[in-house]
Amino acid sequence: MVDATRFYIDGRWVAPADDARAAVVDPADRSVIGEVALGGPADAEAAIAAARAAFPGWSATTREQRLEYLEAINLALIARSDEIGNAIMREMGAPRRLARRAQAGSGPQHFGEVIRVLRDYPFETPLGSTLLQREAIGVCVLITPWNWPMNQIATKVAPALAAGCTMVLKPSELAPLDAVILAEIIDSVGLPAGVFNLVHGSGAAIGDALTGHPDVDMVSFTGSTRAGVAIAANAAPTIKRVALELGGKSACIVLPDADFAKAIPATVQGCMLNTGQSCNAPTRLMVPRARLDDACHLAKHAAEAIRLGMPIDDPDMGPVANEAQYGRVIAMIDQAISEGATLLTGGSAPPAGLERGLFVRPTVFCGVTPDMTIAREEVFGPVLAIMAYDSVEEAVALANDSPYGLSGYVWAETRDAARAVARQLRTGMVHLNGAPLDSAAPFGGYKMSGNGREWGRFGLEEFLEIKSIYGGAEA
């Protein structure tokens, strides 16, 4: 098993300053599969000092030098893809195929896209007689979550390296193993010491020391809105850039002329993917009131067709990733029932034969009204809320009546009709008729879903400052 009891600081594997540790738990059977060191302020200080010392040299490297390192890392990620997938399968319970293909595959996906962007990115452009220079922002703290661990690491580490930044990565202490493998890869390709540093720890123990440090120029965080607010407040006294990718309560609007037989099952599958633990999942399904019964029937059938099981057996859906999240999901299911939502399928009772693990059955509620907790708060589990509307205008208003604004989904007979609704949604992303994500397009949201954008060119530019050199452009 991967060793998460050491930190990677200044090009070396080092022991933490303290001996505090926590168990790494497989949520499929609650077995302990390893330990992770829990760092503190002294570890944060050492990692930031290493990154600060390395910044002048790394930021002065050429595009070609950075491309060479990025390409070497990418090739190693591909070579170790199954190992990364297996680690993710154990540490957060993703089904084997999802862990190996989508979860582990997201590393090369995002490194590859950043490589493509970097090859011809215009770091210097003229604006009249002024030369605009885009340069690395500096030392970055990257804090990543447990739900798509390699994906979120890659979307931060790759563009930061490409921009010429140095960094300290703190992955979730609940799913630290894939981050250790990336650090091993970075060490193996000979990245200069101090450019990339890895520390583990809880937000309470090490987070403030990282995010409030005066030698840190930027914090990029993916996680809960509550934690994002705390990070922004902690970073504010030193006026550092803070990029936040936070929660969501994304709505899927199915227009009256849409193909319900396609739209409803696709929405259920999208909600339940990764056990519902995706910030952009379509968790509110909005359908015409006249078609509510049809939609509920289709959703119930689609949810009950999802195979739930042990990740190694490659089911459609595995367990919830950790004990705390499991408790939250179960509590919110029970609360929805107590508030009057109609349970179509699923519920809080453990599935037969899987009682040892943190398993929740695919759960669908009908008759959900806008005032219910299940319609307003992010569950982050396999729970879908179906809501009825009487007009398209009402559907748009319901979708926008949320503190979140990460993603949205629209199904219609024509792309023009879907696009007309998409333009009215106050979200950073909208999928039309089941269109997939695009790694070249910006990923991020409005309102309480965060600020800044990740992925591709837009993700690279998050790590760049803009300098105006007046009179610097050639005549």
Catalytic residues: 245
Beta-sheet strand order (sheet of 383-389): 342-345, 363-366, 383-389, 282-288, 250-254, 408-411, 431-432
* Six-digit token string for 315: 């089911």
Distance between CA atoms of residues 84 and 176, nearest Å: 11
Expressed in angstroms, the distance from the first to the final Cα of the chain is 60
DSSP letters spanning 51-97: HHHHHHHHHTS-HHHHHHHHHHHHHHHHHTHHHHHHHHHHHH---HH
CA distances, 266 to each of 171, 279, 281, 282, 410 (Å): 31, 17, 11, 10, 12
Write a three-state SS string for 26-42.
Answer: ECCCCEEEEEEECCCHH
Tell me how crowded residue 324 is: count the other CB atoms within 10 A of its CB.
11
Q: Are 171 and 151 in contact (CB under 8 A)?
A: no
What radius of gyration do the chain's Cα atoms show? 23
* Six-digit token string for 222: 């993916």
Nearest-10 Cα torsion for 275, 329, 262, 399:
-130
Q: Are 424 and 396 in contact (CB under 8 A)?
A: yes
| Phi, psi dihedrals of residue 22, rounded to the nearest 5° | -135, 155
H or E segment and range at residue 416: helix 415-422
Q: E-strand spans in 200-324?
A: 218-222, 241-245, 250-254, 282-288
Distance between CA atoms of residues 431 and 412, nearest Å: 11
Task: Tell me the sheet residues that pair with 26.
Answer: 31
H or E segment and range at residue 152: helix 149-163
H or E segment and range at residue 127: strand 124-127
Task: Tell me the sheet residues that pair with 464.
Answer: 136
